[in-house]
Amino acid sequence: MLATRRAATGPDLNVAMQRDARPWSSSLMIGIGFGVLAMIYSLYLAGYLYHTKAWTQPVDIWLAVDAGRYVWNGALGHVYEGTQAYALPLSFIVMAPISGLVDHFGLVEGSPFAVPHPSAWLLVGPYSLIFGIFLLNAVRRMAWDLGLRSRLWAVQLLAVVVVLVPCFEWGHFEDVIALTFVLHAARRMMAGDQIRAALLLSVAISSKQWALPLIPFVVFSAPRGRRLKSLVAACALPGALVLLVLGSDWSDASKALFSPANLVGRTQGHAAFYESWLGSKTSQVSRTVGLLIASALAWRFRRARDTAGILVSMAAVLGLRPLFEAISYSYYFSPGLLLAGCVGLAVTGKVSWRDWICPVAAILWATPRSNSSSSTWWWVGEAILLAITAWQVSSRCRARPAQLRLDQEHPRGADTSKEMSTARAAGETSWTQ
């Protein structure tokens, strides 16, 4: 009977059941290619463009190197002592071997004092770029799950522009790690597996806390009997790391985790209109308000079950971050914009310029400018681009065909839901009967 159903519905079922035979090929080629170009820009091209003989290297990357040194020397609980790091320690654990090599070979770092040619950058730079390969692989796997069977490399190139370029520009490889696991968590959500999604999300949060607002969405989306398990799975790893550092070094860890610095006056960031309303407490209050609003959005979107609905929900939650930061940077916009661009893949199963032109423009518009910290017009332009992106995503969702609710028919796979939808379109009630 199964063969009869497949014959009736055409080749779509067979296509949907296929697995990507080369999930790493384009990821490696594009990731390595971007890494080579990024290092050429850092060592040579930037100096030529800006008429300087110094290498261009992001200052923030040295925060991870300094914190990784504590891990390498067996002081994981003291990673915030004497450093300005504020991310959770997973990325410092990842950086620890490189910190050990820097010390072993006596390489020169580019911080806290400006060094024109820090020898450690020749090791730290390429290593930090390696993680882009894993992000590109996650993007390809998600695109495949959403039904894309050609031009997968195009989505990966768009991810390079939207994510890898701004993250390298600011030296935040931990954001790349976090977004990689967020994408895999989204894939598990689309497959109806909230527990695994929560576990993957816990790894993302342990690398960077901006993934924390997704916990309410994962928990509220789970069936009532699994909500507590989802909450525990999402909080276990980051909670253990927080307890470790607080128990080992309360003074420094509590300041780094619960009292984020309000970097007023940073010329390369984009200051919010409320940047100094509450002085040093501005960032703390604004992030708390953002987390509460994200929780409200998660409750509103808790019934999202189709692939497009899940992506829209996660993009909306993550897209709130730049709006509740006293100082925003270009890589803050990357997670929400990448997921927003993928909504078109979920609806149409193909790459379309109309889904990506505004996310790419929003990232390019967020490129640092010397006067951007006090520019109201910059925020006006960014708000317009974000609004158009939101309208485009909304119009895509309104125009999408009715999709099968994953929790009702087949809670284990988004691909299978597409197969069942195809079968229904042919007048069948079930492709397995």
Q: Tell me: the pLDDT tens digits for 367-386?
A: 876 544 457 888 899 999 99
Q: What is the mean pLDDT of residues 174-189?
A: 97
Residue 312 identity (one-letter amino acid): V
Q: Could you tell me which residues come within 8 angstroms of residue 185 by beta carbon, excluding any fewer than 6 positions away?
A: 196, 197, 198, 200, 201, 204, 214, 218
In 3D space, the residue among 358, 337, 390 whose CA is nearest the CA of residue 167 turns out to be 337
Residue 398's identity, in one-letter code, is R
Residue 271: strand, helix, or coil? strand
Give the orientation angle of helix 25-40 with respect to helix 121-145, to 10 degrees.
150
User: Tokens 């882009």 — which residue?
Assistant: 132
Please, are residues 304 and 221 in contact by the beta-carbon 8 Å criterion? yes
Q: 3-state DSSP call for residue 163?
A: helix
The mean pLDDT of 220-229, rounded to a whole number, is 91
Euclidean distance between the first and the last CA atom of the chain, given in angstroms as a whole number: 7
Report the pLDDT value the prediction gives residue 136, as an integer from 0 to 100.
97
> Alpha helices, DSSP H only, in 271-321?
282-300, 307-319
DSSP 429: S
- E strand or H helix at 378: helix 376-399
CB atoms within 10 A of CB 354: 11
- Closest listed residue to residue 188, CA positions, set 148, 233, 225: 233
Give CA–CA dist 118/111, Å, rounded. Answer: 9
CA angle 410, 415, 419 (to 5 degrees): 75
- Which tokens is 204 given? 């993302």
**Nearest 10 degrees: Cα torsion 170, 176, 179, 185:** -170
Q: For 317-351, what is each residue's pLDDT tens digit?
A: 999 999 998 888 999 999 999 999 999 999 988 99
Q: What pLDDT does 52 receive?
A: 87
Contact between residue 367 and residue 330 where contact means Cβ atoms under 8 Å apart: yes
- Going by pLDDT thresholds of 50, 70 and 90, the confidence category of residue 31 is very high
Residue 412 confidence (pLDDT): 38
CA 70 to chain centre: 26
Q: How many residues in total does the chain contain?
A: 433
3 state DSSP class of 67: helix
Q: Give bridge partners of residue 270 from the DSSP assignment.
A: 328
Give burial (CB, 10 Å; 0-12/13-18/19+) of 312: buried
pLDDT tens by residue, 41-57: 999 998 888 888 899 98
- And the tokens for 432? 């397995």
Handedness of CA 268, 272, 277, 279 (dihedral sign): negative
Q: Quick check: pTM over 0.85?
A: yes
Give CA–CA dist 343/141, Å, rounded: 15
Share of the chain above pLDDT 70, in %: 85
Phi and psi at residue 236, to the nearest 5°: -60, -55
Mean pLDDT of 257-269: 69
In DSSP terms, 327 is beta-bridged to: 271
Cα 25 to Cα 153: distance, rounded to the nearest angstrom: 10
Residues ≥6 apart with Cβ < 8 Å to 199: 233, 234
pLDDT of amino acid 262:
59
Lowest mean pLDDT across 80-89, 182-191, 237-246, 337-346: 80-89
- Sign for the pseudo-dihedral over CA of 57, 58, 64, 70: positive
CB of 415 closer than 8 Å to CB of 13: no
Torsional sign, CA 21, 26, 27, 29: positive
Residues 6+ apart with CB under 8 A from 261: 84, 86, 280, 283
The residue-averaged pLDDT of 299-314 equals: 91
Cis peptide before 112 (omega within 30 of 0): yes
